[in-house]
Structure 1
Amino acid sequence: MRSNAFSTSFHKLQRTRMAGLYEKPSETYAKKRPRYPKEWFSMLASLTAGHHRAWDAGCGSGQASVSIAEHYDGVVATDVSEGQLRHAIAHPKVRYLHTPEDLPEDDLVALVGGEGSLDLVIVATAIHWFDVPLFYAVVNRVLRKPGGVLAVWGYNYDIHPFGDKLHGTLYPAMRPYMDPRTRLAMERYRELPFPFEPVGVGREGEPADVDMEAEMTLEDLAGFVMTGSVATTAREKGVDLEALVKGVMKEVEEGWGDEPTVPRKLVFKAFMLAGRPRGFVKISASLSSVFAWSMEMSPFNTWSQRK
């Protein structure tokens, strides 16, 4: 059994408003997200030796939870945001659980099923919010060996065919209001430590490119931008990004092709990493330095965030 002294004190020290970032717009947020392709989950299921139990960490509204449930006997889905969980998608094989920010490591292990109990752990657009070293320690404990797989993925404002206008313009303008961990997603997880054995879906420093299609109106696209954590954080600091977003959306509208109210196909240029544990997973001193600021500067430290 691992000591919880560091885990508990760390979380108490870093009491945060992380869960609150999405509490107020939870229902709107769930409606504005693109949908993950079914093919992703079929592919991930093909990588695991068993298909008994999976864990969606940082499940948010449960989009990934219900999709992976089609391939496993049961799914435990956890999140720190009670607001998100209230709007989670119901599914007979998915059990949603609230995980408080100060939940000790041993309690979390027990909550999701215990040592060596899971065939797959997924983190959909959330791992950049986690206490990564502690999360990896838990993953190493709960995955079956051999055969268990961890898969993480994300996306940002790189949305074809408007990536230059959205990612190229919004990212620099919004950067001052980003928690440093959000920048991991903006940089496509290339700087995310991932000390796991590759299984053919990217590797540390080289995430796999995966496309995610979505039918959206111009209003939907603007809603996607304005319900993210960056816009929420900016508003809390007294900065309204609406004028900036409207300006960018005006440029997007000029290239939309049809009426703004007519949905069109957009392609989110997403990224994914998957791997198996290499014995006991540790992050080297050089890699852990990527997260050194989290104990000194960032108030954002939690087991899970949301989609």
Structure 2
Amino acid sequence: MSGSFSTPTLSTEKTFTFYSQEQGNAYAQARPDYHPTLYQTIIDHHLDSNGQLETILDVGCGPGNVVRALSSHFNYAIGLDPSEGMLTTARSLGGTTSASGLIRYEVSTAEDLGTTLPQPILDESVDLITAANAAHWFDMSLFWASAARVLKPGGSVALWTSGRNRIHSSVPNAAAMQSALDEIEERHLRPFFEPGNLLTRSRYVDLPLPWALEQPIPEFDESAFFRKDWDVAEDFFAFQPEVNMDVFEKITSTASPVTRWREAHPDAVGTEKDVVRMLRRVIERHLHEAGVEKGKEKVKGAIHGVILIVKKKI
């Protein structure tokens, strides 16, 4: 494993794992879905490299947006997450497969991949494993071993992250605004970063891959490894509109360091001392300085994302 830290596991990650149904609902409403181009990139590469479309397994599925988006390509679809609150939200939102079956949602970790479920995920039964903005919480050694077990020969693992969100250059006063936001982040949020948060910022450069582990997983084909980077792309999320300040607060509130900061500062939540409110006020101030009228403040993010696709040998 490269890097100077070890990644936490979903079973020990405490922020999202213990989300309530209310938090799961808020997460689903605030987080944008991924762009159809991103999903099509995954499906196209999977098929072009001899993948099949029988069963998809989405790991760390949260409220289920990814498995719902991809389930129409597959006969069977399963979403796994350690948070019952997230899964309650996912079940309430539904979703069907190409065979008109319901998506199956189960409580399980990325390291187990459904081994201990009453209806376990069988060996060599899965065609595509996906994990969206989740792999940085996995114990990758255990995950890759389990993935090798459940994947069919020629199956794919697609992992992606949105990386570090920056202020888009089209936003008035963007450079000064970004500098001020970075200062608040460094002072207030940095102490609440976990190693997984740092992996997303490097766009998974240090995410342990199966052939680079201390004990490599030989079932995966290093020569077939695929990586696609997005640099301030417009087609990573389903939409990248300018959002008003209320929406900005809702989206920012779903970040795990913010959640941990608020747990440590409960009396500040919702007040002017709230870290999210601090970020909002910085944006508003810089927009006002650029001539934006009060009440018309909007901001747009610039995404630096990545997809990694790993193939199991045939």
CA distance in 1, matches of 2:55, 2:291: 43
Cα 1:64–1:15, aligned 2, differ >3 Å: closer, same or farther? closer
Q: Which is further off, 253-262 or 217-226? A: 253-262
Q: Retained in 2: the 8 A contact 1:127–1:152? A: yes
TM-superposed CA distance for 1:105, in Å, is 6.2
Query: Match for 1:226 among 253, 256, 259?
Result: 253
- CA deviation string 1:250-296 (max 9, x = no partner): 256446968756877654332221121369xxxxxxxxxxxxxxxxx
Check conservation: 1:214, 1:266, Cα contact below 8 A. yes
Distance 1:252 1:272 in 2: 33
Does residue 1:54 correspond to 2:56, yes or no?
yes
Q: 1:18 to 1:30 in 2, by over 3 A?
A: closer
Within-5 A mapping of 1:15-94: 16=14, 18-21=16-19, 24-48=22-46, 49-88=51-90, 89-93=93-97, 94=102
Aligned length: 264
Judge conservation of contact 1:26–1:87 (CA < 8 Å) in 2. Answer: yes
Match of 1:172 among 182, 186, 205: 186
How do residues 125-144 of structure 1 correspond to structure 2 at under 5 angstroms? 125-144=133-152
Matched with 1:154 is 161
Counterpart of 1:294?
none
In the superposition, relative to structure 1, how do residues 251 and 198 fare at CA in structure 2: closer, same or farther (>3 Å)? farther
Q: Which has the higher contact order (CA 8 A, sep 6+)?
A: 1
Relative to structure 1, is the Cα distance of residues 154 and 234 closer, same or farther in structure 2, using a 3 angstrom cutoff?
same
The answer on whether the counterparts of 2:82 and 2:109 sit within 8 Å (CA) in structure 1 is yes
How far apart, CA to CA, are the structure 2 residues paired with 1:276 and 1:159?
Answer: 35
CA distance in 2, matches of 1:102, 1:122: 11
TM-score (norm 1): 0.72
Alignment check: 8 A CA contact 1:76 1:112 kept:
no
- Look up the equivalent residue of 2:89 and give its one-letter code: H
TM-superposed deviation, 1:157: 2.1
Which of 249, 259, 283 is 1:249 aligned to?
283
* Residue 289 of structure 1: aligned partner: none
Distance 1:232 1:34 in 2: 18
Determine if the alignment matches structure 1 residue 193 to structure 2 residue 208. Answer: yes
Secondary structure of residue in 2 paired with 1:116: coil
Structure 2 CA distance for partners of 1:258 and 1:153, relative to 1, 3 Å: farther
Render the CA deviation track for 1:152-196: whole Å, top value 9, x for unaligned: 111232352368545744542421111221221122212211235
Give yes or no for contact 2:21–2:89 (8 Å, CA) kept in 1. Answer: no
Return the alpha-carbon distance in structure 2 between the equivalents of residues 243 and 139 of structure 1.
41
Cα 1:141–1:44 change in 2 (3 A) is: same
Corresponding residue of 2:217 = none
What is the distance in 1 between the residues matched to 2:301 and 2:119? 38
1:214 positional shift: 2.1
Displacement of 1:107 in angstroms is 1.7
Q: What's the counterpart of residue 209 of structure 1?
A: 230
2:214 match: none
Paired AA for residue 68 in structure 1: L
SS at match of 1:119: strand
CA distance in 2, matches of 1:267, 1:256: 22
What does the per-residue CA deviation read over 1:18-48, in whole Å, with 9 as the maximum and x for residues that have no partner? 5125655221111111220112222211222
Per-residue CA deviations over 1:113-159 (Å, capped at 9, x if unaligned) read: 3111111111001111112211111111111112x111111123235
Distance 1:78 1:108 in 2: 12
Larger Rg over CA atoms: 2
Instruction: Name the CA distance, whole Å, in 1 between partners of 2:291 and 2:82.
Output: 38
Measure how far apart 1:106 and its partner are.
7.0
CA–CA separation in structure 2 for the residues paired with 1:260 and 1:34: 23
C-alpha RMSD of the superposition: 3.4
Report percent identity of matched pairs: 22
Q: TM-score, normalised by structure 2?
A: 0.71
The one-letter code matched in structure 2 to 1:126 is A
Contiguous gaps of at least 5 residues in structure 1:
1-9, 280-307
Query: Bigger CA drift: 253-262 or 222-231?
Result: 253-262
